[in-house]
Amino acid sequence: MHKLGDFKLPQFFNYPPYFTLQPVRDTREKQIQLWKELILDYCKSQKVFLIGVEEDFPLFSNSAIDRTLSHEARETFLSAIVGEGRAEWLDKGHRKCLILWHRIQDWADIILKFVRENGLEDSVMTVEEIRSGTESLGTELEGIDRTILMRALKLLENKGKLALFKGTSADDEGVKFSV
């Protein structure tokens, strides 16, 4: 069992102490870094944008060695990712965590690249089309978390690269690019 779906797990995933929050500082520091890398790798390859601390997240338990991360450990590892700006807590209770394997700025750059590559410099699109339209198929934007996409678009709007407007349907917004 060194795979989780099509994700290849490292060997140390079967090392029981990996699942116990280590009390000694140096060891703990290394453990946190290892978890941080593994979570980000996994989320990126599996397009996971949201981790619920209390929900079943495949990485947080290993049935092969019968070990599960404690609540404290999960929060510690996710907080470490938040501390590096690679994730954000969505609530004060630290129950839901938004994972940003690309930072918002990086996502904004990806959108601009996408616009240029598809000749959409002066076009109008809906937000939903960016996530699931034919142009975005097979790109990193396919299936992007809506919260993250909106924040990247707002960042571009502030820079004058586009304008957001309310569309005809109540649940969608339009984007007018002006790159």
Residues that bind another protein (CB under 8 A): 8, 10-12, 14-17, 19-20, 22-24, 26-27, 30-31, 33-34, 37-38, 41, 66-67
Inter-helix orientation angle 146-158/104-117, to 10°: 80
**Which residue lies nearer to another protein by CB, 46 or 118?**
46
Our CB check for another protein shows the closer of 61 and 126 to be 61
Min separation Cβ 61 and another protein, Å: 12
Shortest reach from residue 30's CB to another protein, in Å: 4
To the nearest whole angstrom, how small is the minimum distance from the Cβ of residue 126 to another protein? Answer: 39
Residue 122: other Cβ atoms inside 10 A: 10
Nearest distance in Å: CB 68, another protein? 9
Residues 27/123, Cβ–Cβ less than 8 Å: no
The minimum distance between CB 50 and another protein, in angstroms, equals 22
Q: Among residues 29 and 106, whose Cβ is nearest to another protein?
A: 29
Q: What is the DSSP string of the chain?
A: --EETTEEPPGGGG-GGGGS---SHHHHHHHHHHHHHHHHHHHHHHT--EEETTS--GGGEETTTTEE--HHHHHHHHHHHHHTTSEEESSTTS-EEEE-SS-HHHHHHHHHHHHHHTT-TT-EEEHHHHHHSTTTTTSTTTT--HHHHHHHHHHHHHTTSEEEEE-SSTT-EEEEE--
Q: Which is nearer to another protein, 31 or 136 (CB)?
A: 31
Looking at the Cβ atoms of 26 and 171, the one nearer to another protein is 26
